[in-house]
Amino acid sequence: MRLLILLLFSFQVSVSFKILIYNSKFGHSHSNFLGSVADILVDAGHNVTSLIPVIDAHGKDGTVKSNKIYVDLGEKIQKAHDDSIGEHKMFFYTPYFDPIGTYMGGQAMAEMFESACRETLKNDELIERLREEKYDVMMAESFDMCGMGLSHLIKPKSYIALLSMSVFGPLYDEFGVPPALSYQPSSYMLNFDPHSMIDRVKNIVSESLIRGFFSPGRSKLEGLFREKYGHEFPGFKKLSSNVAYVFANNEPLLDFGGPTMSRVIPIGGLGAKAPKKLDEYWEKVMTTRSKVVLISFGSIAPSESLADEKKEAILKTVAAYTSMTFIWKYENPDDQFAIAAKKVHPNLILSKWTPQNDLLNHPNMAAFISHGGMGSCMEVAQRAVPALFIPLFGDQPKNAWAMEYHGLGKVISKFDLPYADKLITNLREIIENKRYRENAKAISKKLTHKPFSSRELVIKYTEFAAEFGPSQALRPQSCDMSFIEYYNLDIIAVSVIITLFVVVFITHLVVMIFKRIFRKTSTKEKRS
């Protein structure tokens, strides 16, 4: 009997589902997030295939364990990618609220995704092969909507939407999540006071810009699918409303409270790897002085693209703290500026690459100067390191503001980067004020002791979707409502009409009563 139970148990845990992840290779953070999901599901014993349209041939796949199907899109798509990114240095000087830049960026990205998707859909043999596989679950990010459109063609049992950030812009409507713009900051908000009318106006403008950025891409891709497969293609809003789950790369403990839906599962920190022991070189760097500051602006906006005045401000900050070691992720450590800087500042290490996660885990790490990417924010929180955030674009302003809101650091505008005094003052604040380190430790402890890890959530919800499919109970009926119905404008209109009718009627009645009283009074006076 015991043997039978063991056999049944081993059969249960060995069930393997077939999963397809559409991971268009166009940005490091996006590929890394989707790749982490793929590798976790492989480790859980599932048969995972990553479909990788190669938009940026220079990028990484993100996954090392899943099966890979590459779609070679050619040099034309690579050029479209490079054009959509533009000059790297633009991220350091473009305004946070930039309607012209938002429009142009949205158009460029839309054209890139449309061109890439058009090439992918030409491969009818591949699409038929994917359809025949009968996948239990398909996943794709709701950034490049080609994956979601492809899911309609290959008909998986369940579809799970992936987000390398929190729910934003058009996704509120598509997934049925009510936006709370009166108190929940939008992605472009560097700071936000819900009691300030000006900030709430800015928040609405920010949300409008985000929707404007993503609207062209959705429109062009939807047109492409209808052009190729007919007008019966349901559209992305309809497809999004029927997803089984949404895996969003945000951590509620580092976010702002707001409305959500049962099928939106936060899996923040998924890509943050366990820290490793430093090699001999980096260990020596970290122990030469008792305190170390790490500087990195991420992978898209390289430090070598900084204007000279901003580089000089950073060097002045390094010079103000000669008792500390500064490690600066600088992509061209052999250029003229770097060579000159190393000669003048012995406490400065310029490196093309840094083991960021491992460095942050070292006890001598005093602070991190960061751009506020989601991955960096999670690493800061997990390693309990206070940070000075200088957000550049995208969701980085909101990420950075959330970290300051929770007491894990300070935020300054990228337009304050040329002013060394602001860098020095704010860096001194987060290093010398113990509350930042204490808050960071408290958050780190909470993240470590969460009831369910992001990894567990990914596995369990994926397996549930694979076995049972999407649940109608999790799909809000708001997805089928018009704007008028959703906001009860019809009820309000009818109520206003009835109220006006009642007011007019009562007014008319009161006037008639007063007229009769006046007539009776006048008649009596005449008789007397």
pLDDT in tens, the chain (528 residues): 444 444 444 444 457 999 999 999 888 888 989 999 999 999 999 999 999 999 888 888 889 999 999 998 888 888 777 776 655 567 777 888 888 888 888 888 898 899 999 999 999 999 999 999 999 999 999 989 999 999 999 999 999 999 998 898 899 989 999 989 999 999 999 999 999 999 999 999 999 999 999 999 999 999 999 999 998 899 999 999 999 999 999 999 999 999 999 999 999 988 677 889 999 999 999 999 999 999 999 877 788 888 889 999 999 999 999 999 999 999 888 889 989 998 999 999 999 999 999 999 999 999 999 999 888 899 999 999 999 999 998 889 999 999 999 999 999 999 999 999 999 999 999 999 999 999 999 999 999 999 999 999 999 999 999 999 999 999 999 989 988 998 899 999 999 999 999 999 999 999 888 888 877 766 666 666
Helix or strand run (H / E) with residue 159: strand 158-163
Q: C-alpha angle 487/491/495, rounded to 5°?
A: 130
| Terminal Cα-to-Cα distance of the chain (whole angstroms) | 114
- 10 Å Cβ neighbour count for 49? 20
**Burial of 232 by CB count in 10 Å (0-12 exposed, 13-18 middle, 19+ buried)?**
exposed
Q: What is the pLDDT of residue 87?
A: 53
Q: Quick check: 458 and 37 in contact, CB under 8 A?
A: yes
| E-only strand ranges, 40-81 | 47-54, 67-72
Max CA pair span of the chain: 118
**CA gap 451, 444 in Å, rounded:** 14
Domains in the chain, CATH or no CATH each: 15-243 (3.40.50), 280-448 (3.40.50.2000)
Select from 230, 261, 229, 257 the least CA-distant residue to 243: 261
Q: How many residues does the chain have?
A: 528
Do 375 and 272 form a contact (C-beta atoms < 8 A)?
A: yes
- Residue 357 makes CB contacts below 8 A (sequence gap 6+) with 272, 273, 275, 379, 383
Sheet of 245-248: strands edge to edge?
67-72, 47-54, 18-22, 137-141, 158-163, 245-248, 264-266
pLDDT of residue 302: 82
Distance from C-alpha of 96 to C-alpha of 444, rounded to nearest angstrom: 30
pLDDT at 15: 78
Rounded CA separation 130/70 (Å) = 13
In angstroms, what CA-CA distances link 468 with 245, 335, 358, 423? 12, 57, 40, 53
Residue 66 per-residue DSSP state: S
CA distances 68 to 34, 51, 216, 384, Å, are: 13, 6, 29, 36
pLDDT at residue 1, rounded to an integer:
42
H or E, element range at 139? strand 137-141
- How far apart CA 429 and CA 421 sit, in angstroms, is 12
* Three-class DSSP category at 353: coil
Strand partners, 158: 137
A 10 A CB-CB count for 229 gives 13
Strands 365-370 and 409-411: unpaired
**Gap between the Cα atoms of 393 and 109, Å rounded:** 15
Structure tokens at 419: 């002013």
